Each structure stands twice: as C-alpha cells, then as structure tokens.
Structure 1
Amino acid sequence: MMFAEAVARIERAGSFAELGEGEAAYRAYAKAVHPDAVTGAQSAAANRAFAQLSKLYEQWSRQVAVGDIADLITDPRGLLKIPRSPADSDLMAAEATALTALRDHGDPKYRPYAPKLIESYLHEGAERKRRRVNVLQRLIGFVPLSDLRRQIDPRDVAWMWRRLLVGLGWAHRAGVIHGAVLAEHVLIHPEKHGLALVDWCYSGPHVKAIVARQRDAYPPEVLREKTAGPATDIYMATGLMTRLIKDPPKQLRRFADGCSYDKPRMRPQDAWRLLGELDEVLHSLYGPRTFRPFTI
C-alpha cells in the first residue's frame, strides 16, 4: 500500500472497521505509515496518521458490539456509542433526547427498562468531522434477543412479553416512542428475567431512519407516512414476541392479531392496559404465574 493512499484512508476513517479486518489490516497500515519507514518530508504526515491509526485500533480492540449505525466501545465511564458516519449524529441526538426524557419525566421505578445516559457530546476526529457520541450505562448480564436462535415455549416468552409491555408503557407515559422494537434492541437478563430496551436512536413521532434489513418488521405507517406512535411500538413488540414462540396457542394468536392491524388507530394504544389483557390470556392458558428458569 502506498504511503499517500494509506494516510488518506486513515484520515477519512471514522472507525477501524472502515480500514479492514483485524490484525492484518493494522499491520498493513502500520507498515505503510510508520514514522521510521518514511522520508523526512513525509514525517509529519506519518506521525499524525500513525497516531490516528493507533487510536482507531485501540478503540476497535475495546469494541463490544457493532450496532446498526454505531459501534459500542468500552470506556471507564460506561459504553461509548460512536456513529460510524457523522451524518448519523442526528440519530445519536434523538437517543440522548429520549433517554433524557425518560430520566426526567418517566417514573424512576421503571429505570431498569432502559440504559442510563451518562453523557452526550460532540467529538471532532482527525478528519475534522464531528460526531455525536453517547456514553451509556453498561448493562451487565444482559444479552440481545437476537442471540436467541431458536423458537421457545410460549411460557418462556410470556415473561419477556410482559416486561416488554411494561417498558413500553413507561416510555409512552413519558411521551417517548421507541420506534424500532427489534430483537437486537431488546436485551434480556436470562437468569433474573430482566429486560431493557436499547438503541433509542429511532425514537420520536417522525421517523428519520429504519433498520433496512428488518423492513418487514415495521408497520405500514412507518414505511408509508414516516410516522410512529404508541401503536407502532405495540405492533413491532407483538411481531417480535410471536416470532419467538414455537407453536403459539390459538388464544395468543388471536391476541396478537388484535395488535397487528394495518391501521394504527385499530390497534391498542395503551401498553399497560394491553398488559392486563395479556395477563388474562396467559392465566386462561397456564393458570397462576410461576417462575421458569431460562437460559440462552
């Protein structure tokens, strides 16, 4: 790789992932821009590029997850959520706004249903482009539902469904719409039966973006009118939960059908009231609630 090309690529990169994969990519770029291997005229540019390469590589080595639009990196303060494109900083700002509203206006007893926003700030990288970075509380012991690669007993889905409706009801009472209730955005704690909604970047009544690969999971109002409301979250939560169930009972299928109409005004609008209806269905099927150990 030529020196000038390597410098240009490093300066443009917002994350190490844009340069290649793993150790091999790092070695190739380090060889091309190492200050000890260039001419005197190239020395200043090499020092800048090598320092930026080292920073990007260190961040990559601390990376714990790759999200739809951002990378999550460990930090002493929590998790740094860094958008790969500066153009997605508005989505980071939307998440910060949503989590602030939940903190300031949501009932504090429901705080475990979403991560805490520790800080949100603008960062200017070596390429002189600004990105909004959110620092989030790390949720220990939680895993995304996307890690669950099998369908499960409806009795195990029941506690997830109940907690998901609790979390959504809490958000809606605080005036916040999640907007992307998808498997990768719903974390569960299998041992403690905990649940948290993450990735609030898509929140708000006006849809700025969707997760394209999950297009089929969105209701018509999102795809056609770019709008979202409580009924949007309920539609997506219902689809997510029913897709998890192996051989759903007829009563649960009927319940889900009532939450999945094309027109949002025909769907339930109140997640907490809907929780009561779900409890009635579950009680008729399985009797009083009991704790069922669950593992991924």
Structure 2
Amino acid sequence: MICRAGTAHDLFDGAPRRDSDRRSARRTFRSLLMAVHPDRSAADGVDSSATTAAAARLSELYADWQRGAAPAAEAHVVGHHGTYPLRNRLWANERVACYETGKPGERVDIDRTDGGRCSSALRELWLEAAVHGMSAFLPGSSDCGVTDGRSWVQYQIPDGMVSLREVHEAYPDGLDGRDWAWMLRRILMTLAAAGRPHGALSVDTVLIRPEQHGVVLTGWTAAIGGDGPVLAGLTDTMLRSREPRQSRFMHAAQELSPGKQLTEYDLLLQHLYGRRRFRPFTVSTGTNN
C-alpha cells in the first residue's frame, strides 16, 4: 500500500493546518511505520529490503503532507517523444524508482541519485540481448532523458505481465519446484545473454507472463558485482518449503556466472524432474498489466 501510493494524500487525509488532521496523520504515520518495522518484518518472514523501501517512502510522503506539498502525481519527465507523468509509484529501491504513467503497460524508471545510469543501462543491454535473440526478455524502451540530473527511461511491458510479488501473493505457500524452474531458467538465460549483472533483481523487477511462460526483467542498473546472492534469496522466497534442493543449489552456486549456473541448474532439474514438459501456470490478480 505504501509504495503504491502516488501522493501523500493517498495515505494522509485533511490538511496540516488543522490540529485534528495533524493528530490523525501522526497516528497513521506511526501505525504504518510500526507495520513495516524491520524487527516485525523479520518475524513475519518479509523481505527486509522491501520494508526498508516502504519505510523510506512512508517518511517521504509524511514529510510531503506536513509541508502541504503539491501532489506527486503532478510530477513528470519530458523526453524526445513525449511527456510522461509520474503517477502511481510501483516500487523503489536504493537506486531506482518505478512509476506508472497512466497508459496501459507504460512505465518510467528514474534514478534516485544524480549520475545514475538506468536509461543507458537498458539501451546498452538491448544490443547484447538482440545478438543472442533475447530482446523479448527486456522491456521495449522508446524514450529516455535526464531530468534534474537524474537519468530516466520510459518503456512498455507486454499485456498480461505480473510481478513475482503478485505471484507470491497468489501462491503464499510457495511454488511447485517445476513452476519456479521455468521462471528461474529464463532469468538466468537473460542474465547470461546480457553479459552483465542486473543489480536490482527483486520480486518487483522480475515480471512473468504466466500462460505463455514469458519473463521480462525491468529495473536494470549500472551494477557492479553479481546477482547470485539475490537469485538465491528469490529462490528461497518463491519456492514452497518442502522443496529445498533448488534453494541449496542456488546458495552453493552464488559465485558462478549465469551461464554456468544455467548449465548446472539444468542438470539438477533433469535429476529432480526428468525431461522438461510444459506445465500450465496461472495467476489470479485484480490488476494485470
């Protein structure tokens, strides 16, 4: 709820000039902050990075409300091909924030610090992915720019995509290992084709197309280091607890390149499940993009 809030008024009612509204907003802020406290999230088994981002976003919105700031939905970026409003904030991490623009499937990733390179990262990746026939695993970008020193990129995601967060919400007990296998294989294939780390893999930046078994990776950054630890964490999060062997493998293979991980992962899958077969997969959500 917090990270999806587009403006302060999505969380806080009234106006800061009124005592009753200030007291109400203060109670709301404290209640929400307690809900995303790291100690509580750890006890509930929630990803600490997600609650840290939610707490930062909550503080930002509360400060906006106290200042009586204009709604964040009025913010926008101007590119070569159009003007893109920054409306519903879908997710944010330390480097990048992602917004919906109001058009179906259209998103804008914007760096949260000056000198970031989210727009150039995606453009560079397209060249590598196209060479390996993997461009369908990346979002289609048509505009980019720099606003107030911050790089941004506009892109379109295909219809029917859902995030791993939505998958996890639809399957709270975890996925069958065979279902997670096709998702993780495609993530590894994309990373291997890119030839560089993603830098911000999460349940928000990995999108899947359930029926077609499609995967699209968004939120790319100019990253240093590998994605191995994050992939191991995602495997822990997405798999049901009675299927530990894939998790054990991903933790042991953290230092391998994505290509090498994929080769050895396929050997594990062959041992666990035999010959690969297509398994129908669906996700019921209220708002598929």
TM-score (norm 1): 0.61
Question: Which digits, 9 at most, give the CA deviation of each residue in 1:149-173, with x for residues without a partner?
Answer: 221111111111111110111112x
The secondary structure found in structure 2 opposite 1:90 is coil
Question: Which digits, 9 at most, give the CA deviation of each residue in 1:24-57, with x for residues without a partner?
Answer: 679x9xxxxxxxxxxxxxxxxxxxxxxx869718
Per the alignment, residue 41 of structure 1 pairs with none
Distance in structure 2 (CA, Å) of the matches to 1:80 and 1:249: 35
The secondary structure found in structure 1 opposite 2:277 is coil
**Correspondence 1:120-269 to 2 at 5 A:** 120-123=144-147, 129=148, 131-147=150-166, 148-149=168-169, 150=172, 151-172=174-195, 176-201=196-221, 203-205=222-224, 228=225, 232-249=226-243, 251-260=245-254, 267-269=255-257
Amino acid at match of 1:88: T
Distance in structure 2 (CA, Å) of the matches to 1:183 and 1:22: 23
The secondary structure found in structure 2 opposite 1:294 is coil
Work out whether residues 78 and 137 of structure 1, in 8 Å CA contact, stay in contact via their aligned partners in 2. Answer: yes
1:130 deviation in Å? 5.2
Alpha carbons of 1:61 and 1:70: their partners in 2 closer, same or farther (altered >3 Å)? closer
Larger helix percent: 1
Q: Which sections of structure 2, spanning at least 5 residues, go unmatched?
A: 18-69, 77-83, 284-289
Per the alignment, residue 286 of structure 2 pairs with none
1:275 deviation in Å? 1.3
The secondary structure found in structure 1 opposite 2:101 is strand
Work out whether residues 91 and 98 of structure 2, in 8 Å CA contact, stay in contact via their aligned partners in 1. Answer: yes
The secondary structure found in structure 2 opposite 1:184 is coil
Amino acid at match of 1:241: T
Question: Which digits, 9 at most, give the CA deviation of each residue in 1:64-101, with x for residues without a partner?
Answer: 73433424133669735264xx852433xx11121111
Amino acid at match of 1:67: A
What is the identity percentage for the equivalent residue pairs of Structure 1 and Structure 2?
25
Amino acid at match of 1:56: E
Q: Which sections of structure 1, spanning at least 5 residues, go unmatched?
A: 1-15, 29-51, 124-128, 206-227, 261-266
Per the alignment, residue 116 of structure 1 pairs with 140
**Correspondence 1:72-87 to 2 at 5 A:** 72-74=99-101, 79-81=106-108, 83=110
Amino acid at match of 1:282: L
Work out whether residues 242 and 256 of structure 1, in 8 Å CA contact, stay in contact via their aligned partners in 2. Answer: no
Alpha carbons of 1:153 and 1:102: their partners in 2 closer, same or farther (altered >3 Å)? same
The secondary structure found in structure 2 opposite 1:88 is coil
Distance in structure 1 (CA, Å) of the matches to 2:14 and 2:109: 21
Q: How many residues align?
A: 212
Per the alignment, residue 124 of structure 2 pairs with 101
1:288 deviation in Å? 0.9
Amino acid at match of 1:187: L
**Correspondence 1:5-44 to 2 at 5 A:** 17=6, 19-21=8-10
TM-score (norm 2): 0.62
The secondary structure found in structure 2 opposite 1:200 is coil
Amino acid at match of 1:145: L
Distance in structure 2 (CA, Å) of the matches to 1:184 and 1:168: 17
Distance in structure 1 (CA, Å) of the matches to 2:123 and 2:72: 33
Amino acid at match of 1:115: P
Work out whether residues 169 and 272 of structure 1, in 8 Å CA contact, stay in contact via their aligned partners in 2. Answer: yes
Per the alignment, residue 88 of structure 2 pairs with 63
Distance in structure 1 (CA, Å) of the matches to 2:231 and 2:184: 8
Q: What is the RMSD of the two structures over their aligned residues, measured on CA atoms?
A: 3.3
Question: Which digits, 9 at most, give the CA deviation of each residue in 1:234-292, with x for residues without a partner?
Answer: 231122123211135464344223224xxxxxx212x1232121111111111111111
Bigger Cα displacement from structure 2, 62-71 vs 153-162: 62-71
Distance in structure 1 (CA, Å) of the matches to 2:86 and 2:112: 24
Larger radius of gyration: 1
The secondary structure found in structure 2 opposite 1:20 is helix
Amino acid at match of 1:146: R
Per the alignment, residue 292 of structure 1 pairs with 279
Work out whether residues 189 and 259 of structure 2, in 8 Å CA contact, stay in contact via their aligned partners in 1. Answer: yes
Alpha carbons of 1:144 and 1:76: their partners in 2 closer, same or farther (altered >3 Å)? closer
